[in-house]
Amino acid sequence: MKQIFKLAWRNIWRNKRRTLITAASVFFAVLFASSMKSLQAGAWNEMIKNVTSLHIGYAQIHAAGFWENRSIDKSLSEEDILQQLNEVEPEGLVGYLPRLESFALASSGDKSGAVLVVGADLEKEEQHSELSSRLVEGRLLEKGEPGVILAEGLAKKLNLGLQDSLILSSIGYHAASAVGLYPIKGIISFNNPELDKQFCYLDIQVAQEFYAAEGMLTGMVIHLEDNSQLDGVLTSIRGQLPPEDYEVMDWMELMPDLVEAKNLDEAGSFLILGILYIIITFGIFGTLLMMTRERMYEFGVLTAIGMKKWLLSFAVWIEIIFMGFVGAFAGIFGTMPIVAYFVQNPIDMSKYSEDAASTYEKFGFHPVFPMNFDINIFTSQAFIVFIICTVLAVYPILVIQSLKPVQAMRK
Amino acid sequence: MSIISVKNIHKTYNENTVPVHALRGVDLEISEGEFTAIVGPSGSGKTTLLNIIGGLDRPTEGDIRLDQTELSTLNENQLIEFRKNNIGFIFQSYNLIPVLTSKENVEFVMLLQNRPKKEMETRAKELLNAVGLSDKLDQRPAQLSGGQQQRVAVARALASKPRFVLADEPTANLDSKSTADLLDIMAKLNQEEQITFVFSTHDNRVIERARRVVTMVDGKIESDETFNR
């Protein structure tokens, strides 16, 4: 078998120029495909990480039916849920973040706007998302402190800064009137245009007082060590909580629009890469066609001296795989440093085009795109090349199988 | 006792609208250890006969038996297996594998027979030594002259320890010196190892060395002469 591999390896270099041209086409395809997939995965991972780590979390627990209309009236009792959750200690769980969230009208002077008020235990939130690292000005709230932390975009919109005050008005639990005046203690930036223009934080107790919902929560965020433990943790928690009283949702259920947009984007890139690989396929096929025609005589001689057709077919298949892999591995090793560089130095669109950056922001994307260094992206390219080469090898294999030594040698 | 038995062989090609009768009822018996030349003008059917004897082509009609094996009873894979273990081929244009060295080319046939590595190496060296190429073991075909390549082809043909060696115009591309050397080598192997050699040729230098000369004309055997050489 070693000799067959040696033969195949030497055969691909019989016509160096042709092999190099074929390998170069595979190289560029893999380079382009790997870079594109890494950038796409990096951008989406960043987006999902931002949204999940800063706000949604990997999963949440609500009262049954809450997420459908997100009414504060569908709140759950903090005491009851904690009692239930004390019964389970799934592996990978760090803790729970109590939240009381609802919309309110924020106003200051003659400016006003709708805001999402997030009542949260900021000490726990700090452990979960290092909220303080996002502070642009000021500080986080202390436990029970009557103050507000505003998102940067919202502060700009309302023309507010530290030491200014904000009036919040809304409808509280069971239609209670909710009005409050809160001094601004901090300004925070999420690097996410959607979050930046609508968020404000209150301490959980202050929020409960504001919405007249003492001891009530709209949800609990499940804080995990990492995303890989999500399924196991959710299974344990779902097993403990009665489904008629509680709903336990992962981030994909909480943000179906984001998942759909990601799938749509991936489908688009799949189409582009599909077209690219079809072009490459024809390139490799052209090489195979020439190679097969040129070597009919040799194939005839090899079968004449006793080489079985399956063995000859296998040797030719190995040759084709080698040729594809020369390009694929060159492409992978060429892409790795590029991707590694852009993981450390994300592409900041605002440096290149303000217009493009603002367009991304309008669609809710932070216009800074890191790449994602995922070995699966590279191995999947090698796998695609392997499949293409294997499928294309059918042609010379069919020719070999139907080969008649005398006719082949006569040609 | 015949080791090659050809009975009433016909071969007709129907590639064009007019059928071409390459062989028209050939009968031939060849005994073990013979050194036979099949001669005749171009188109007389000598290469076709050699291909059929070697199991590379099938006759339209007739029987061919090699050392008790009726070739018509073998399927394609069995024929390949039979060729591998019983027949050595020498072709007009050498047909060595260009990416393998002389030694690797000789070893290749033994590789197909799954011989142990040590045995392959030893026999390849012995054979290349026998054909006078012990100093060209690691040269590739492109680095050898035509005569040297044909000598490697002879070594390759003998590597599998065949019962018969079939050579199609083996000296057609060689100069006088290379032809004489090659014939010396083949005659020596024929006598020392009792390998049966059958050539197709119209080269007088080969005909003069053959102990049996079968002459073909228009797909038939016209004469069959034996010489005491």
Q: Where are the domains of chain B?
A: 2-91+154-226
Residue A251 domain-assigned (yes or no) = no
A393 and A304 in a single domain? The answer is yes
Number of Cβ within 10 Å of residue B63's Cβ equals 14
Q: Which helix (H) or strand (E) holds A254?
A: helix A251-254
A104 and A186 in a single domain? The answer is yes
Q: Which helix (H) or strand (E) holds B31?
A: strand B20-31
The fold of the B2-91+154-226 domain, in CATH, is: Rossmann fold (3.40.50)
Whether pLDDT at B59 is above 90: yes
3-state helix, strand, coil in chain B (%, to 5): 40, 30, 35
Strand partners, A98: A220
Q: How confident is the model at residue A5 (pLDDT cuts 50, 70, 90)?
A: confident
CB contact under 8 A, A306 and B95: no
Domain enclosing residue A34, as ranges: 2-51+258-410
Q: Which helix (H) or strand (E) holds A8?
A: helix A2-12
Residue A59 domain-assigned (yes or no) = no
Residue A57 domain-assigned (yes or no) = no
Whether pLDDT at A295 is above 60: yes
Whether pLDDT at A365 is above 70: no
Structural domains of chain A, count: 2
Number of Cβ within 10 Å of residue B11's Cβ equals 22
- The interface predicted TM-score of the complex, written ipTM, equals 0.86
Taking the CA of residue B224 and the nearest CA in chain A, the distance in Å comes to 26
Q: How many residues does chain A have?
A: 411
A362 and A266 in a single domain? The answer is yes
pLDDT in tens, B76-124: 889 999 999 899 998 877 788 888 899 999 999 898 888 998 999 999 9
Site from B23, B56, B92 to mutate, A interface, most A CB atoms within 10 angstroms: B56
Taking the CA of residue A357 and the nearest CA in chain B, the distance in Å comes to 56
- The predicted pLDDT at position A362 comes to 63
User: Which pair of structure tokens corresponds to residue B92?
Assistant: 């007009």
Q: How far apart are the first and last CA of chain B?
A: 21
d(CA B37, CA B45): 13
Site from A305, A312, A316, A404 to mutate, B interface, most B CB atoms within 10 angstroms: A305
Number of Cβ within 10 Å of residue A270's Cβ equals 11
Q: How confident is the model at residue A280 (pLDDT cuts 50, 70, 90)?
A: confident
Nearest C-alpha neighbor of A280 from the set A28, A37, A18:
A28
A19 and A133 in a single domain? The answer is no
Between A62 and A408, residue with greater pLDDT: A62
Nearest C-alpha neighbor of B98 from the set A10, A396, A312, A309:
A10
Amino acid at A315: A
Among A218, A242, A266, residue at a domain's last position: A242
A130 and A21 in a single domain? The answer is no
A193 and A314 in a single domain? The answer is no
- The predicted pLDDT at position B60 comes to 92
pLDDT in tens, B124-135: 998 898 888 889
Taking the CA of residue B113 and the nearest CA in chain A, the distance in Å comes to 9
d(CA A361, CA A351): 14
- At residue A37, what are phi and psi to the nearest 5 degrees? -65, -40
Q: How confident is the model at residue A90 (pLDDT cuts 50, 70, 90)?
A: confident
Among A242, A267, A296, residue at a domain's last position: A242
